[in-house]
């Protein structure tokens, strides 16, 4: 659709390189493309969530300060409520961060972020939508942080924010602890965000970095552990940072059902959510073994998905699987070493079996 001239003259030029997010449409009996959790909650938990979600008064705005939700998050993370900023998914927290921090750092000619490649696309998209530069440093051959490259990028770009997803999407790798420390040390004048969206599937978390370094904050979400419908994510960081970000947050950002159901889940469903994460972690290893037995290379994963090397071009395998009713995620458009990689979300046992049967015929 052509953009009218008057509009082109008003739009940020960076929008020309962006696309609206459009998930693949169509009916796929097995969807292993979005890193959601398969339905693992018990009928009792689902009924209790539905009861908890109902507003007391449909005519009233939600709690603008998210008091109960932030208390429940703080209790879960072992921090204080004023160290928590909650948003409509961690996506919203990322955009709040970049709105607040879109000013060039002293000595920099433009505001920028530094992140890795490949990684979660919203860091770059959110930065570009605000006119910020995005400098991407390729991960090393083992999909870990390239410290020398990141240090050079930090020195050269003088970024306002450095984003490290750990475990990373789409590679599943948890960044080495010493490498994250080295990046934080090099970026001591920037804010370093450690995105722990997949931490529930990992053997260790990185929350202690927030206490150790005043310039580090951690992102988390309920989306990967079975509650993506609620769109609840948060940042844990220094209370001075949270207070500034809170000025940018829309006052009623999280609807009542999301606030209430998320608060209930955090307070009452911890055991069930942990069991679901343990199931996914076990299934991930079973799926990895199955794919390895088929001769495919599978990177070690600490997330709820696998990063799988294909013999045939990934785009062809993606199409063949989709034609067989199994949707996974391909990044072949990026080319290079991504041209032979697929990201496959761990599903229910029967979904994973179906994936194994279908991929055996086409990878
Ligand atoms: C690394 C990472 N961070 C954040 C998100 C966004 O999660 P949310 O649903 O909380 O917006 C995702 C979603 O895929 C992700 O992979």
Pocket test for ligand 1, best of 163, 199, 224, 254 (most atoms within 8 A of CB): 224
* CB of residue 258 inside a 6 A radius of ligand 1: no
The residue extents of the domains of the chain are: 10-43+271-362, 60-268
pLDDT tens readout for residues 92-147:
999 999 999 999 998 889 999 999 999 999 999 999 999 999 999 999 999 999 99
What is the pLDDT at residue 319? 96
What is the pLDDT at residue 63? 98
Residue 363 pLDDT > 80, yes or no?
Answer: no
* CB of residue 168 inside a 6 A radius of ligand 1: no
Residue 294: pLDDT band with limits 50, 70, 90:
very high
Least confident of 17-31, 152-166, 319-333: 17-31
Cα of 6 from ligand 1 centre, angstroms: 35
Strands 329-330 and 341-345: antiparallel
| Distance between CA atoms of residues 310 and 322, nearest Å | 15
Mean predicted lDDT score pLDDT of the chain = 96
Sheet of 161-165: strands edge to edge? Answer: 84-88, 232-236, 216-221, 191-195, 161-165, 112-117, 133-138
Which CATH number describes the domain made up of 60-268? 3.40.640.10
What is the pLDDT at residue 362? 87
Q: Is the peptide bond before 170 cis (omega within 30 degrees of 0)?
A: yes
Q: What is the mean pLDDT of residues 228-235?
A: 98
* CB of residue 119 inside a 6 A radius of ligand 1: no
What is the pLDDT at residue 333? 87
Cα of 167 from ligand 1 centre, angstroms: 11
* CB of residue 144 inside a 6 A radius of ligand 1: no
Pocket test for ligand 1, best of 36, 115, 139, 197 (most atoms within 8 A of CB): 197
Q: What is the mean pLDDT of residues 255-271?
A: 98
Cα of 59 from ligand 1 centre, angstroms: 31
Cα of 218 from ligand 1 centre, angstroms: 13
Q: What is the mean pLDDT of residues 242-256?
A: 97
Helices (H) and strands (E) in the chain, counts: 13, 13
pLDDT tens readout for residues 1-42:
788 999 999 999 999 999 998 888 889 999 999 999 999 999
| Distance between CA atoms of residues 260 and 53, nearest Å | 5
How many other β-carbons are positioned within 10 Å of the β-carbon of residue 290?
A: 18
What is the pLDDT at residue 23? 84
pLDDT tens readout for residues 66-101:
999 999 999 999 999 999 999 999 999 999 999 999
User: How open is the CA angle 359-362-363, to the nearest 5 degrees?
Assistant: 75
Cα of 261 from ligand 1 centre, angstroms: 19
What is the pLDDT at residue 352? 98
Backbone angles phi and psi of 308, in degrees to 5: -115, 130
Question: Relative to the CA of 92, which ligand 1 atom is closest?
Answer: 11
Nearest-10 Cα torsion for 342, 233, 83, 183:
10
Query: What's this model's pTM, rounded to 2 decimal places?
Result: 0.97
Cα of 196 from ligand 1 centre, angstroms: 9
Cα of 133 from ligand 1 centre, angstroms: 21
Assign a CATH topology to domain 10-43+271-362: 3.90.1150
């Amino acid at each position: 659709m052509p953009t009218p001239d008057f509009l082109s003259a008003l739009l940020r030029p960076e929008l020309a390189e962006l696309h609206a997010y459009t998930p693949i449409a169509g009916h796929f009996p097995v969807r292993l493309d979005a890193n959601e959790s398969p339905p693992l909650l018990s009928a009792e938990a689902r009924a209790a969530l539905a009861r908890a979600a109902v507003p007391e008064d449909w005519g009233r705005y939600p709690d603008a300060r998210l008091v109960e939700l932030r208390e429940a998050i703080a209790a879960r993370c072992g921090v204080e409520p004023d160290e928590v900023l909650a948003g409509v998914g961690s996506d919203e927290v990322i955009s709040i961060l970049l709105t607040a921090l879109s000013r060039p750092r002293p000595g920099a000619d433009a505001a920028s972020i530094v992140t890795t490649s490949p990684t979660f696309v919203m860091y770059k998209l959110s930065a570009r939508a605000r006119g910020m530069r995005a400098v991407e440093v390729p991960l090393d051959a083992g999909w870990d942080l390239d410290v020398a490259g990141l240090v050079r990028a930090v020195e050269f770009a003088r970024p306002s924010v450095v984003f490290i997803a750990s475990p990373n999407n789409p590679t599943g790798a948890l960044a080495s602890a010493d490498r994250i420390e080295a990046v934080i040390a090099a970026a001591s004048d920037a804010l370093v965000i450690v995105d722990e969206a997949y931490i529930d599937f990992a053997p260790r978390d990185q929350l202690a970095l927030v206490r150790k370094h005043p310039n580090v904050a951690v992102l988390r979400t309920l989306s990967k552990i079975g509650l993506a419908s609620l769109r609840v994510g948060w940042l844990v960081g220094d209370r001075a940072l949270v207070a500034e970000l809170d000025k940018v947050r829309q006052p009623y950002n999280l609807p009542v059902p999301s606030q209430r159901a998320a608060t209930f889940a955090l307070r009452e469903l911890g055991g069930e959510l942990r069991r679901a994460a343990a199931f996914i972690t076990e299934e991930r290893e079973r799926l990895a073994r199955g794919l390895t037995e088929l001769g495919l290379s599978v990177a070690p994963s600490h997330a709820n998905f696998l990063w799988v090397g294909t013999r045939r071009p990934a785009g062809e395998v993606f199409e063949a699987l989709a034609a067989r009713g199994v949707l996974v995620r391909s990044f072949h458009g990026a080319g290079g070493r991504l041209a032979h990689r697929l990201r496959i979300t761990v599903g229910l046992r029967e979904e994973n079996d179906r994936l194994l049967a279908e991929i055996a015929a086409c990878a």
